[in-house]
Amino acid sequence: MKIAITGGGSAGHVVPALSVATQLAQSGNALVFFGRDGSIEEEYAEKADIRFRSVPSAGLKRYGSWSNLWMPFTVLRGIGAAWKAMRRERPDVVFSKGGYVTVPVGIAAWLCRIPVVIHESDHSLGLANRILARTAARVCLSEPARSQTPRWLARKTVVTGLPLRGDLAQGNPDRLRRQLGIKPGAEVLLIFCGSSGSARVNDAVRSQLDQLRSRFAVIHVCGKGNLDPSLGGTAGYWQFEYLHADMTDALWLADLVIGRAGATTLAELEALGKRAVLVPLPASVSRGDQLVNAEAYARRHQGRCQVIQDDDTLAGGATLVAACLRLAGAHAGFSRPDPEVIHQAASRIAGETVSAARPRRRRTR
């Protein structure tokens, strides 16, 4: 069976998509990944040795932008490119993990009568998934819907959980500690705000770097193009644009994490029992899902989580440092994740994807 995978725009979409892809590949299925040229999904698909097909796409900016005027034309061009690729690849089913690139791919699959299975990480469907849900064969959810679900949607909905990175149960913190030269016993602070990073969080951290270094060994994953050359070689501070193979080791090594409140990030922190300072994306640049996620996570982990708003109070970094110091030295409570639990959601989604595939006649010549 050939299965198309799509999802992109951020690691929060791509990492879970590849976790499902791994499960599908282990069952002997052929895979092809649809995404944007030069994107994070192309980079990750290449590292996973999955063939990649490029599809033009554009997302709706949630702030005033002239690019929104051109967005419908880019999407139409993407639908055409995806339709041609679908006709050439002839997948039996498409698994879609969210992100605006999935819209032209999902619509093209519908035009080609190829079943689509979508997955939503958050408590409510994102814009791309809302568009595709009507024609999707299955709608997989990380958790039960919190509001009344229309009958047409409830009939095709299944709660599968959220797929986590496949190697999350195989971290080796001592390996990264030795690699970076972090002293045994030093408390480690990991800053990670998504694949593109956060300029405001980066500035806040660097403004208070001396105070943070006096308490922590600081591993700063700052996003592509966000390295500060002037801080290279600073004792007790290691900056990276992004971590690939080492990310799981960094999560295991960290005693405290500063991060966004995307569903995937929170699921990984929860699986490892990490203390966290959360800086959710504000509603001005998102649909507000991270604000809801952060509030719910903080309620579940009182005394082990602080929430800082991404607004003008973050400037200078004083509130960020105060939150870190309140959580510093608390009992880590590290939990070693069960590999079966880690792979459970991805395995369930892979099963739903395979079962949704529609047998199609082979083309006669």
Whole-model pTM: value is: 0.86
The reply to whether domains 2-163 and 168-338 share a CATH topology is yes
pLDDT tens figures, 174-213: 999 999 999 999 999 999 998 778 999 999 999 999 999 9
pLDDT for position 364: 44
Q: Would you give the DSSP letter of residue 230?
A: G
Q: Is 168-338 in CATH node 3.40.50.2000?
A: yes
**Cross-sheet strand order for the sheet of 275-278:** 237-240, 217-221, 188-192, 256-259, 275-278, 305-307
Q: What are the domain boundaries of the chain?
A: 2-163, 168-338
Q: Would you give the DSSP letter of residue 113?
A: T
pLDDT for position 363: 46
The residue whose two tokens read 């619509």 is 107
All residues at 6 or more sequence positions from 352 whose CB lies less than 8 Å from its CB, including other chains: 117, 138, 140, 158, 160
Q: Largest Cα–Cα distance in the chain?
A: 72
Whole-number Å distance between alpha carbons of 240 and 322: 24
SS3 257: strand
Whole-number Å distance between alpha carbons of 81 and 77: 6
Tell me which H or E stretch contains 342: helix 339-356
- Mean pLDDT (whole number) for 155-159: 96
pLDDT for position 360: 59
pLDDT tens figures, 294-343: 999 999 999 999 999 999 889 999 999 999 999 998 655 566 777 888 89
Query: Nearest Cα to 45, choosing from 63, 21, 79, 70?
Result: 21
- Mean pLDDT (whole number) for 9-35: 94
Residue 298 structure tokens: 């903080």
- Mean pLDDT (whole number) for 271-279: 94
Q: Which CATH number fits domain 2-163: 3.40.50.2000, 3.40.50.300, 3.30.70.260, 1.10.3720.10?
A: 3.40.50.2000
Q: What angle do CA 300, 219, 36 make, to 5 degrees?
A: 80
SS3 158: strand
Whole-number Å distance between alpha carbons of 256 and 198: 18
Q: What angle do CA 223, 243, 318 make, to 5 degrees?
A: 50
